[in-house]
Amino acid sequence: MGICLDTNVFSTADRSFFDWVFEHHIYAYLPSIAYVELAYHRLKKSESIKKLNDMLFGYGIEVVAFDMDLAMTAAIKALPRHDLSENAMYYAIGAYAEAHSFPLITYNKKHYTWLKEVYTPEELIEKLS
């Protein structure tokens, strides 16, 4: 099973969620646009990017590229809502989840109402336990 991670899971969830994902052999993917946001916030606080990368590597979280197909998916999903300028990052992150039929794991479920499966880390654990 695979899951797509939103940026806020790293700042809000405790490490036990990542331990659980790793122990249950769930493949976790982080869209590169979410990695940009994580790196930005770490750099802004003068925190180590190496620590971030080591954590991702240690848990087997793969940072995945944002390509033209994903960009098209994001644009198509934003079109009926007319809110791309305010929510481009959410559409970009969610496009990866949709393209791979993965649930998106986030604490900002309201930004992803257009996706079929969106869970908080706690909801995912409960659903799969």
Domain ranges of the chain: 2-128
Does CATH number 3.40.50.1010 belong to domain 2-128? yes
Amino acid, single-letter form, for residue 115: L
Residue 65 phi/psi, 5-degree rounding, is -70, 150
pLDDT (tens, 9 = 90+) of the chain, 129 residues, equals 999 999 999 987 678 999 999 999 999 999 999 999 999 999 999 999 999 999 999 999 999 999 999 999 999 999 988 888 888 999 999 999 999 999 999 999 999 999 999 999 999 999 998
Q: What one-character DSSP code corresponds to residue 102?
A: P
CA-based radius of gyration for the chain? 14
CA 81 to CA 29: how far, in whole Å? 26
